[in-house]
Structure 1
Amino acid sequence: MNILQFLVSIVLFTVLAFGIGFIINMILRTTWLPVVIAFGVIIGALVYNKIVPGLVDIIILAFGIAGSVVSGWTIQTLRKKGYRMF
């Protein structure tokens, strides 16, 4: 994998997981459900396809998990500050 592809993948997975997690948090009014879903999807895909991820894959997936964790933290902070729609 090219270093440019690696860096773009990290940013893409982080922003994508944050956005999807934020939307799920707004719709379902849960805080940490997107993190659980992300772990389930990743583990399920690895088990189903019988793939052993390499270091680059683990780093990219970890940034995706970090994006969903940050979305949960953001929603929680917005709720504490009084935003009722969250």
Structure 2
Amino acid sequence: MTNYWDDYLGSNQTNIHPRTGLLDNNRIFSADGTKSIRFGNHEMDSMGTTKFHFHLEEWKYDPVNDVMDYFNTLVRIKE
């Protein structure tokens, strides 16, 4: 699973949220801040069930409207 995350995020990952500059213990961000993996307590609590999952997230800034578009894809983990 972590190889999949590495392929999605690329190198130089961080858990510093690019918008807030604060530590985010539930996410790993790509170096450019446009992608993240969310795998926090909620996701960990589903381990061992058919609902075990993580989230692929994408963040796209629209400078014309000063809006951050957020895309979230839930990925089930089969054990």
TM range (shorter): under 0.3
More helix per residue: 1
Q: TM-score, normalised by structure 2?
A: 0.26
The structure having more radius of gyration, on CA atoms, is 1
More strand per residue: 2
Work out which structure has the larger RCO, using CA pairs closer than 8 Å and 6 or more positions apart in sequence.
1
Q: TM-score, normalised by structure 1?
A: 0.24
